[in-house]
Structure 1
Amino acid sequence: MFKSFRHQQWKMLLLTMVCYLFFYTGRHNFGWAARGLSEHFHVPYSTIGWISFSMLIGYAIGQFANGNLADQYSAKILMPLGAYLSIITNIAISFVETIEWVLVLWALNGFFQSMAWAPGGKLIANWWDASERGKAYSFYTMAAGLSSVITYLICIYILQETQSWRMLFRLPVLILFVTATIYFIFAKNQPSDLGYPNFEENADTDVIIKENWKTRYHKVLSNRDFMLVVLAFAFESMARYGFIFWVPVHYLGKDWKQNTKSLWLTFLLPLGMAVGALVFGALSDNFFKRNRVASIRFGMLMSSAIASAIYFTPIHHFLLQGIIMFLAGLFVYGPQSNFWTLCPEMLGHERTGTGIGLMNMFGYLFAALGEPLFGKILDTTGNSANIFLMIVLISLFSALIISWKSLFRIR
């Protein structure tokens, strides 16, 4: 029976990973379309930044609601539903003729995209106990990093073949339709759905009776240490999206069509993110002895140093820039696997979905605030490298907050 259950554990983790593996095709494609949107609609980059802001705000609002819903309703329904609605919204954007419609639809897309991460995290928490949950979340976070890799590959190929921003909203999301449907058919919310006993900490029915949605929000929001972790995560997310959205703009210079090697440099950023998710899971458990705070602090300090290196390194030094891109992804994204693990460790299993949702909400709220700021810096200075100086400061803020005195006891 143990072998059978173990098989189902890995099956549910892999199903969740595969579904989320293609979610970013409906979100991280926007950075690649930024230059085309700016040129087609004759708008400055600050306007493009505000459109990106609208998606991130929609995502943040969605996380506030969907994280709590994940503690009460079915993840196998919420996750595919978000995928289908996001696909429809992306395809609709590819046909619009006004920048206002792009903004409205992209904001809605943010809400729909938010229906996946917390429910998926809740399902994983149901199937994996505390002793192995760090490993499970590192694999889940790796899937998100690989999602950026896949999105970057597809978008680079589309730009080289058609150079059409509209295709960036039509083609990548088609694979998401397939994986979301597979998830809906085969995923199970918890072990008891297949006749296995739930973990003792997974007494979901009793918890729902004792705690309604208001109580869960109150318990999470009143946890001071957890909210400091959330604030540190918020700055980490701002730095992460600073890289994700503006690195393509940085390397898509005016002469990129004559030197397409610069496109492939950007691919190393999400590749580093995927590797970072696994690396930091191992670092936290082994080198830092489950001290998640120390692991996160290390990652954000290194992220600050790498962002500084991007600013000072000439863009035509391809080998050096490639190494830096990989390290940027590794250090800015790797700590996320430690952040997610802190949710069940600090809040308990029964409030994991609510904690993940709130953490992600603040993360995307801060990331949203950063987008128009980054766009304004580019419009004002005309030099995309200046964006990375801001990322240096943002990463340092995250490291400082996670090191706050009251957090040293968190392991």
Structure 2
Amino acid sequence: MQNTNSILQPIQPSTIEPIKKRPIYARRYNRWRIRILYSIIIGYATFYFCRQNFNIAMPVLMDHFHVTKTQLGWILTAASIVYGVGKFVNGFISDKSNARIFMACGLGLVGVVTFFSGFASSITSLGILWILNNWFQSMGWPPIARMLTHWFAPKELGTKWAIGATSHQIGGAITMVLCGYLVDKYGWEMAFFVPGVVGILIAIFLFDRLRNSPDEVDLPVVEEYKEDSINPFGNQLALTTRQLLEMVFINRLMWYVCMANMCLYVVRLGIIFWAPMFLRELKGMSLSQAGWQVAAYEILGLLGGLCAGWMSDKIFLGRRGPVGLIFMIALAIMLILFWQIPAGYELLSMCAMTLAGFFVYGPQVLIGVASADFTSKQAIGTANGLASVFAYLGSALSGVCVGWIVDSSGWDGVFLFFILSAIFGGMFFALTWNASAKKST
């Protein structure tokens, strides 16, 4: 493997007095960091509001359009492939673009497509719009990854990334509860109209609130603000396209991360896609009850992400692999428990499923942070994009494959598929056991 340091040109250490010794300047920096973080959370939660609405509506869509689970699975698979490819392409573009404009435009386009999805007259037209939606959805996280690495230093990145990633669970929980209510009371169309309008409004909010990096508001690099040691991958002059691609692709650690992400997303998206349906069919719940249970899964996932980020920063000193392995094995155990609990034991089922959420969202946070650790803040969009291609290969498998498995042999086969995926994901995390930002050469 090529030594990544050979393609970097480090910036000379700053001779400016540390920013923390200038209180007025430091307060201004802190206010901007808070503003960026809450805007990221609100913005990406809205992306989710315009994405998971399809999942909660699926049982009704199946009856309304007279389609099978396998047919719905094909839509999920096609959308997942488009989303994964889009995250790679848009990740590369975002590394060369202004993150503020890129994210706001992506959410605005998502809002428009989501709104018009409510007028779909056939499953074909809805599927086409949903696939288009997923392309614009892929413009959401790459600019966030870029902003996080520019506004937060390496020694705090695991924790701050986890806080930013709470947007997944916040958006998912709101979607499951609110859209479950809208579908039950007003029909499936409202589960697209309402999120679409909200998406357009929040896109305007993001354009006002976000900034690409500290230099846009006349502030120095974040390592100077935090008096952090300089990550050898994190501070260099602009990379050429060749250097950027070499840093990501000629990097065995990135390939381990990608494979772990694929296994993780088989489970994560498999549950999100199919939970409303298997809770209704396997556990005998109503759609509203299923929505609340998936919301609980998301909320405990929020805590799991925060816990995993903190553990990797504070206990394992920047090593993400050990925490990823622990969480993936625990996830497999929770899936076995949920699968074996009989219908009628709603409290036990909810406990097992919400704990699965805790353990599935921890590794999701670690994937993004590890991508930043093993590459560069200037290549983070591309690195996350590559990891996302594999994530949505896993997601594609959890679409049509799960639909086919259920139609042909029932839910038992599905849970075996999820459990094996969790175990293999843990094995790939184990291959990065000793790797951290300062050891990734």
1:345 and 2:396 are equivalent in the alignment:
no
Letter of the 2:77 partner, please give it.
F
- CA drift of 1:177 comes to 2.3
Tell me the residue number matched to 1:367: 395
Tell me the residue number matched to 1:40: 64
- Unaligned 5+ segments in structure 1 are none
2:362 to 320, 334, 351: 334
- CA drift of 1:254 comes to 9.8
1:384 and 2:384 are equivalent in the alignment:
no
- CA drift of 1:263 comes to 4.0
Letter of the 2:111 partner, please give it.
I
1:403 and 2:430 are equivalent in the alignment:
yes
CA deviations over 1:222-253 (Å, ceiling 9, x no partner)? 10121111111111112100111111111234
- CA drift of 1:55 comes to 1.2
- CA drift of 1:388 comes to 2.0
1:180 to 203, 211, 217: 203
CA distance in 2, matches of 1:51, 1:74: 32
Kept in 2, the 8 Å contact 1:154–1:172? The answer is: no
Tell me the residue number matched to 1:271: 299
CA deviations over 1:111-139 (Å, ceiling 9, x no partner)? 10000101011011111111221121011
CA deviations over 1:35-72 (Å, ceiling 9, x no partner)? 12211221110010010111111111111111111211
Letter of the 2:423 partner, please give it.
L
- CA drift of 1:303 comes to 0.9
CA deviations over 1:263-293 (Å, ceiling 9, x no partner)? 4222211112212111111222233343210
- CA drift of 1:386 comes to 3.9
1:310 to 334, 338, 347: 338
CA distance in 2, matches of 1:323, 1:317: 10
Report 1:123-162 matches (<5 A). Answer: 123-162=147-186
CA distance in 2, matches of 1:12, 1:341: 18
Kept in 2, the 8 Å contact 1:241–1:367? The answer is: yes
- CA drift of 1:199 comes to 4.0
- CA drift of 1:159 comes to 2.8
Report 1:318-329 matches (<5 A). Answer: 318-329=346-357
CA distance in 2, matches of 1:237, 1:78: 25
- CA drift of 1:179 comes to 2.1
Is the alpha carbon distance of 1:143 and 1:254 closer, same or farther for their aligned partners in structure 2, counting shifts above 3 Å?
Answer: closer
Is the alpha carbon distance of 1:366 and 1:129 closer, same or farther for their aligned partners in structure 2, counting shifts above 3 Å?
Answer: same
CA distance in 1, matches of 2:285, 2:234: 55
CA distance in 1, matches of 2:287, 2:272: 21
- CA drift of 1:204 comes to 9.8
Kept in 1, the 8 Å contact 2:280–2:287? The answer is: no
Kept in 1, the 8 Å contact 2:180–2:287? The answer is: no
Is the alpha carbon distance of 1:265 and 1:142 closer, same or farther for their aligned partners in structure 2, counting shifts above 3 Å?
Answer: same
Letter of the 1:373 partner, please give it.
C
1:251 and 2:279 are equivalent in the alignment:
yes
Kept in 2, the 8 Å contact 1:54–1:106? The answer is: no
Kept in 2, the 8 Å contact 1:310–1:388? The answer is: no
CA distance in 1, matches of 2:181, 2:60: 15
The higher radius of gyration belongs to 2
- CA drift of 1:398 comes to 0.4
CA distance in 2, matches of 1:242, 1:255: 17
2:308 to 259, 267, 280: 280
Aligned to 2:411, the other structure's residue is in SS state: coil
Report 1:188-267 matches (<5 A). Answer: 188-199=211-222, 207-208=237-238, 210-212=239-241, 214-253=242-281, 260-267=288-295
CA distance in 2, matches of 1:122, 1:113: 16
- CA drift of 1:327 comes to 0.3
Letter of the 1:198 partner, please give it.
V
Q: In terms of mean alpha carbon deviation, does 249-258 or 57-66 score higher?
A: 249-258
- CA drift of 1:316 comes to 1.8
Tell me the residue number matched to 1:6: 30
Kept in 2, the 8 Å contact 1:251–1:266? The answer is: no
- Give the TM-score taking structure 1 as reference length: 0.93
CA distance in 1, matches of 2:174, 2:261: 24
1:56 to 53, 71, 80: 80
- CA drift of 1:260 comes to 4.8
Cα root mean square deviation, aligned: 2.2
Tell me the residue number matched to 1:74: 98
CA distance in 2, matches of 1:108, 1:323: 36
Kept in 2, the 8 Å contact 1:145–1:277? The answer is: no
1:102 and 2:130 are equivalent in the alignment:
no
- CA drift of 1:205 comes to 11
1:169 and 2:192 are equivalent in the alignment:
yes
Is the alpha carbon distance of 1:331 and 1:86 closer, same or farther for their aligned partners in structure 2, counting shifts above 3 Å?
Answer: same
- CA drift of 1:262 comes to 4.4
Q: In terms of mean alpha carbon deviation, does 83-92 or 318-327 score higher?
A: 83-92
CA deviations over 1:284-321 (Å, ceiling 9, x no partner)? 22333432100000111111111111110123211111
Aligned to 1:371, the other structure's residue is in SS state: helix
CA distance in 1, matches of 2:413, 2:76: 19
Kept in 2, the 8 Å contact 1:249–1:384? The answer is: no
Letter of the 2:425 partner, please give it.
S
- CA drift of 1:409 comes to 2.4
Q: In terms of mean alpha carbon deviation, does 347-356 or 279-288 score higher?
A: 279-288
1:29 and 2:57 are equivalent in the alignment:
no
Is the alpha carbon distance of 1:254 and 1:196 closer, same or farther for their aligned partners in structure 2, counting shifts above 3 Å?
Answer: closer
Q: In terms of mean alpha carbon deviation, does 251-260 or 37-46 score higher?
A: 251-260
- Give the TM-score taking structure 2 as reference length: 0.87
CA distance in 2, matches of 1:387, 1:26: 26
